Each structure stands twice: as C-alpha cells, then as structure tokens.
A = this chain, B = another copy of it.
Amino acid sequence: MANQEIKSSNSENEAKKTTKEKIFDASVDLFSKKGFNDVTVREIAKEARIREGSIYNHYKNKEAILDAIIDYFKSEITQSNIPAEETTNLIDKGPEAYFEGGVKMFMARINIPQMEKIWRLVCIEIYHNAKIREFFKKELLEEPLAGWENIFSIMMEKKMIKPVNPRTLAYEYWSYAIFLVFEYFILKYDEDFDSFMNLGLEKMINHTRFLLEAIKIEEETN
C-alpha cells in the first residue's frame, strides 16, 4: 500500500507522470469513449502530449497498450475478491448481512476512479477481444455464479432460507448484477454522469430485498 500510487489518476499531478503512464491514461480515456478500433495512435499521442513515434518506445504496438489495460483490470478485479475464510464467517450472520457484503464486494470492483472507464472499455470490447471475453466469462460470470450457488446451498442446509434450486437462485441473484453493468456501461454511460457506484447500489439493494423476501423462512412455521 506504500508505493501503490503507480497509476496516478486523472488531472492530478500530470507533470509527475512518466511518459508510459501518460500513454496508458490517455489510452484508457480514448478507448473507453470511442472503442479500440476508432482510436488512432495519432490521437493517443496528441492526448498524451507526446509525439507519435515515442509511443513505440514504451509499447510494442497499439494492441500492447490495450493488453496492459486489460492486465491492470484483471489484477484489480482479482484483488478485490473476498477470501474463502471470511465467507464462512459472514454466512453465520444471516442472509441479510451476507447479501449486504455481496453488494459491497461487487461495488468495490468498480469504485476506483479510473476503473469506471476501464469497465466501460471492457464492456464495449467484450465481443471483439478474446482475452476480455474469457476473463469476463470466468471471473465475472461463472466464478461468482458458482460462489453464490455454494453460499445458497450452505444457507439452505442451515435452514436460513427456503429450499429452492441453488443454481437457479444464484442466477436470479447474479444475473441482475450483470444486467446493471450492461445497462449502465453500454446503454446509459453517455447520459448518466453519476457513477455506477451511486446508481447501481440502490438498484442492487432493491433487488436484494426482493430476493430476500422471496426466499426467507416464514415466521409462522415456528
């Protein structure tokens, strides 16, 4: 956490940035707005206030810049995963507490200044870039689905929630999160200037409450 300020954010201390960082940040900006294909190396150079040729001293080619951004995204996402030990502790606090934890976990993956732009970039390049697509499928779809399925199974064993198909329940829960990402970063990114953190959080909590109501154990069974 000491020298973790490698990726300095936007307009702050622009002067202190290395050229490589300038290229990285300018590319994040442009790619997230226009998509990889529609950004030219000339534009990146202009935005980074350097000459075109200098870019190739830091990155092999245009594709390599995108790769670096994807790697950064991957590492940020993977870091924010909740360790397995904490999971078991959280479950005993009841479904409400766990859901709340889940929402916060989900939001933590987005609530880093530059990450919101990279999320946008990931969403718009997902069809086009195999690396992004495979990562998204594995780390943001299959792995969370399997995780939630496991959680729900445990909760059912402990009679904390109604017995339903845990796989179905995992899909019911998580698909909404993916929908929110899609809705925000693809459909509404240009118009909603509020961050996903603020807009999505409320909707996700709403969703969680609804689901909780559907699967809670009725009091009257006592």
Tell me the A residues contacting B by CB distance below 8 Å: 35, 37-38, 123-124, 126-128, 133, 136-137, 141, 164, 168-169, 171-172, 175-176, 178-180, 182-183, 186-189, 203, 206-207, 210, 213-215
| Closest B residue by C-beta to A125 | B127
Please tell me if the beta carbons of B186 and A126 are within 8 angstroms of each other in the complex. Answer: yes
Known: A133-B187, A141-B183. A127 touches B176 (CB 8 A): no
Please tell me if the beta carbons of B123 and A187 are within 8 angstroms of each other in the complex. Answer: no
Nearest CB of chain B from residue A86's CB, rounded to whole Å: 28
Please tell me if the beta carbons of A175 and B172 are within 8 angstroms of each other in the complex. Answer: no
Please tell me if the beta carbons of A127 and B172 are within 8 angstroms of each other in the complex. Answer: no
From B126, B128, B169, B187, give the contact of A187 (CB < 8 A).
Answer: B126
| Closest B residue by C-beta to A36 | B37
